[in-house]
Chains A and B, each alone.
Chain A
Amino acid sequence: MTQHASPPRDDTGKVPSAGQPPVWRGLFAHADVRTLSLLGVLAALILVGGITKPDEFLDTRNLQLVLTQASVIGVVTVGMTFVIMSGGIDLSVGAIVALASVWATTVATQEYGFGGILLTAVLVGLGCGLVNGLLIAYGGMVPFIATLAMLASARGLALQITDGKTQIVTVDSVLDLGLRDAYVLGIPPLVMVFAVVTVIGWLVLNRTTFGRRTVAVGGNAEAARLAGIDVRRQRLYLYLLSGLCCGIAAFLLIILSGSGQNTNGNLYELDAIAAAIIGGTLLSGGRGTITGSVLGVLIFTTITNIFALNNLQSDVQQIAKGAIIVAAVLVQRRTASTT
């Protein structure tokens, strides 16, 4: 990839062109060095997969599987990106996914069918997000602590509901969404949900006052407050948003696994945070992109897939993931200091 001498860019990576709106719009219209390097890494991974396991890796079914696996954690990561952009953190996402997935698959809930399961998953996610948001925004708790407490309680509640048992889904309309018959033009419904969440997330972050306020609160909360922004309400909304994404992810996971378990979503918080960081989101807030986070998710999922195809154990995968996080942050520090 070529890197031309960089004129001053604004935070979207766009070269200021005397107020002329760019003609070419779209998700990758403002691709900057960071996005391009993430795309480069992803391309390199696909190359590695194609060379080591040409038949298995590039098989349509395998690519569908990779994207499907990316969907659940991807939806969670979109919400996480907003929270981290605002200078916060949500450690409870995995636990919320677990709680929402078991609450939505109890025998009582399943009696209400498709709508009952979807609505319950979303409402449980929003409810947990509401508690997080109230504790952090109005209770003055540090996000790390408040969401750590939610992590513990939501997991505990999930265990209490299931008593450690797997709750099998018997609603056919839900299960059908996971079948090949439901694919549209070869795209699984889960992947479509992920795509829609990504596009909406991108639009909200870049084209709405909500996105602007999120960036302002994360960039400088005191300045945002003195500029007249309701910082606390914004924080509340952000944790609600993260909870909503967890609820949606829980529903996707129910479709994918055909069940609800209290062990669902284990360590999702770490995967989502790692994907956002790799994607260029500043942990201190104020800078980040949805595009970067989604690429981070795809990179992680692709690595897992390639390792599995090559019969490498999960311990090797974990080590590789750790190395990638370190490498990504080091590279970003370098690009940040040279631009």
Chain B
Amino acid sequence: MAPEPPLLTMSGITKSFPGVRALDGVDLDVQAGEVHCLLGQNGAGKSTLIKVLAGAHQPDDGVISWRGEPVTLRSPIAAMRLGIATIYQELDLVEHLSVAENVHLGHEPTTAGFVVRRRSARASTAQLLKRLGHAEIEPGRLVGELSAAQQQIVSMARALSHDVRLIVMDEPSAALDPDEVDNLFRIVGDLTADGVAVVYISHRLEEIRRIGDRVTVLKDGRAVAGGLPAKTTPTSEVVALMTGRNVEYVFPDRPTAAPEGTPVLEVRGLAREGEFEPLDLTVHPGEIVGLAGLVGSGRSEILETIYGARKPSAGQVSVDGRPLKTGSVRAAVRAGLGLAPEERKAQALLMLESVTRNVSVSSMSRFSRGGWLDRGAERGAARAATRELSLRPDNPSVPVRTLSGGNQQKAVLARWLLRGCRVLLLDEPTRGVDVGARAELYAVIRRLADEGLAVLLVSSEVPEVLGLADRVLVLREGRVVHTAPARELDEHRVLDLVMEGSPAS
């Protein structure tokens, strides 16, 4: 390679959020014209890294150099001016505007500074779409009418409408059919032939082998390997890099005897079209069942459907043998289900309220007569529930927003403990929880199970599912591909299953 400096060098990038160190001294260098793949499990820091690169996050520490010159990416516009474009997984298009309007959003060709030259915008859009092999997309159509794959093409056209030198693609193939993926790869090939660099994020190893030049592996906020050859590094080495943890989680002991008797939660043929295929599962009192899978495998959708927050297209959920009214959260709660959702702040907590009120919200009828609240009883019960989970600080009158992530999660668990729920559905229970606080949360969950609760756990962190659950269902693209007791599985095997869909040798 020519002795000129790399297109992009990031060195020692560090970024912390309250309670979490998302990036811890990450290095990354990207050459012009290469496809550089980023690999890592969920929570490894990939999203944070590309947001730093896109100018959406400011790093706490570290240096970014562009063509050998140190730069500061103060804002997404600053990054765009340098020639860095990012195509996010969740496309950032305006559905009610046309394709051409979206492509030129923010830099419309104008006459006299403000009159948009619509014809010229459409012509240049048509040209870009043709270059991307999708001349059939009409520049005048509304983006909301296009398929997901077409919207992605529009997003790419928007990136190319700038003088782009580096494109970041965050799991671009996740929403695509196989032949659309082929077209995507052809586009990536054309771009790199023109000297454009691509940072490509994917969970699918086979894609990385097909188009990648080099691979950087992230784990727990660090780059554990930089610039490995993408085509020749053995799969086992890549998986080992992704999984070998520095932080050893301490998981509580499992009960020795397998649960017996009748299951408290029984799911039969539950399905939602386009999200997950018919699913059967049972959870006994005292048992923790884990669902392992990647983003998009249908994990959260399954939990929310069991809980009644989404209406199933088929199937039945029963508690103690009694079928639940489908699609009704209230029926589920009354039958003894409780959900600790993935997005704690958006879906579970009343952020303006005290811990007490957050804990008591599902059990208010217990502290009221004819709608009149007995606030003393409420406070006492909330205090007892939060003490049982050792929630800190030991003062339930403080606003819930002042708690750490782990203690906010305990407040959600205390809500269901107080309600006297029998089946706990946990969606990513340690998301946003400090590494140090996780072990304590694991111990709490196991203790609740030992006291007779049935727990259904969803996590994208494979070690968490394997360490905590008694039995594991492995999901891939809305389908259960494997079921086994947790002790018969290891992380390698599960990762192979969720990424490749078939057990590795």
Contact = CB atoms under 8 A, between A and B. Distances in A.
B499 interface: no
B302 to A, nearest CB: 15
Contacts of B339: 226
Contacts of B348: 223, 226-227
Contact of B346 (A11, A210, A223): A223
A175 interface: no
A207 B372 contact: yes
B308 to A, nearest CB: 9
B347 A216 contact: no
Contacts of B278: none
Interface of B: 307, 309, 329-330, 333-334, 339, 341, 346-354, 356-357, 361-362, 364-365, 368, 371-373, 375-376, 379-380, 383, 395, 397-399, 402, 415, 419
Given A10-B397, A16-B397, A223-B349, A212 B402 contact: no
Contact of A226 (B341, B365, B373): B341
A226 B307 contact: yes
B330 A208 contact: no
A8 B402 contact: yes
Contact of B395 (A18, A223, A229): A18
A222 B350 CA distance: 10
Nearest to A19: B379
Interface in A214-239: 215-216, 219-220, 222-230
B188 to A, nearest CB: 38
A215 B350 contact: yes
A241 to B, nearest CB: 13
A215 B356 CA distance: 14
Contact of B351 (A213, A220, A226, A229): A220
A228 B333 contact: yes
Contacts of B356: 10
A219 B333 CA distance: 20
A226 B309 contact: yes
Contacts of A8: 398-399, 402
25 contacts: A8-B399, A8-B402, A10-B398, A10-B399, A16-B395, A19-B383, A21-B375, A21-B376, A207-B372, A208-B371, A208-B372, A209-B371, A212-B357, A215-B353, A219-B352, A223-B350, A224-B350, A224-B361, A226-B329, A226-B339, A227-B333, A227-B361, A228-B333, A228-B334, A287-B352
Contacts of B395: 16, 18
Interface in A42-66: none
Contacts of A224: 350, 361
A227 B415 CA distance: 9
A286 interface: yes
Q: Which of B347, B376, B380, B415 has the most CB of A within 10 A?
A: B347
A216 B361 contact: yes
B350 A216 contact: yes
A209 to B, nearest CB: 5
B13 to A, nearest CB: 30
Given A19-B383, A212-B364, A212-B373, A230 B330 contact: yes
Nearest to A230: B330
A317 to B, nearest CB: 34
A220 to B, nearest CB: 5
A222 B346 contact: yes
Interface residues of A, number: 30
| Top-9 shortest CB links A-B | A16-B397, A228-B333, A10-B354, A219-B350, A209-B364, A227-B362, A208-B371, A227-B361, A209-B368
B309 A207 contact: no
Contacts of A21: 375-376
A212 B373 CA distance: 9
Contacts of A216: 350, 353, 361
Contacts of A227: 333, 348, 361-362, 415
Contacts of A230: 330
B380 to A, nearest CB: 8
Contacts, number: 94
Contacts of B415: 227
Interface string A17-44: 0110100000000000000000000000
Contacts of A229: 361-362
Contacts of B398: 8, 10, 16
Nearest to B360: A212
Given A228-B362, A286-B350, 18 more contacts: A10-B397, A14-B397, A19-B397, A207-B372, A209-B364, A212-B357, A216-B350, A219-B350, A219-B353, A220-B349, A220-B350, A223-B346, A223-B348, A224-B350, A226-B307, A227-B362, A228-B330, A229-B362
A286 B352 contact: yes
B347 A222 contact: yes
B309 A208 contact: no
Contacts of B351: 219-220
Nearest to A15: B397
Contacts of A207: 372-373, 375
Contacts of A226: 307, 309, 329, 339, 341, 347-348
A136 B365 CA distance: 26
A8 B357 CA distance: 15
Contacts of B376: 21
Contacts of B346: 220, 222-223
Contacts of B350: 215-216, 219-220, 223-224, 286
A208 B375 CA distance: 9
Nearest to B372: A208
A220 B373 CA distance: 21
Nearest to B307: A226
Nearest to B344: A223
Contacts of B361: 212, 216, 224, 227, 229
A274 B43 CA distance: 45
Contacts of B349: 220, 223
B381 to A, nearest CB: 12
B345 to A, nearest CB: 8
A256 B398 CA distance: 46
A86 B398 CA distance: 22
A333 to B, nearest CB: 15
B373 A209 contact: yes
A224 B348 CA distance: 7
Contacts of B419: 228
Contacts of A220: 346, 349-351
B426 to A, nearest CB: 13
Contacts of B334: 228
B56 to A, nearest CB: 23
Interface string A186-222: 0000000000000000000001111011011001101
A220 B258 CA distance: 40
A14 B398 CA distance: 10
A212 B360 CA distance: 10
A228 B330 CA distance: 5
A213 B364 CA distance: 9
Given A11-B352, A215-B353, A226-B329, A209 B365 contact: yes
Nearest to B376: A21
A19 B350 CA distance: 20
A8 B399 CA distance: 8
A227 B334 CA distance: 11
Nearest to B340: A226
Nearest to B334: A228
A159 B373 CA distance: 44
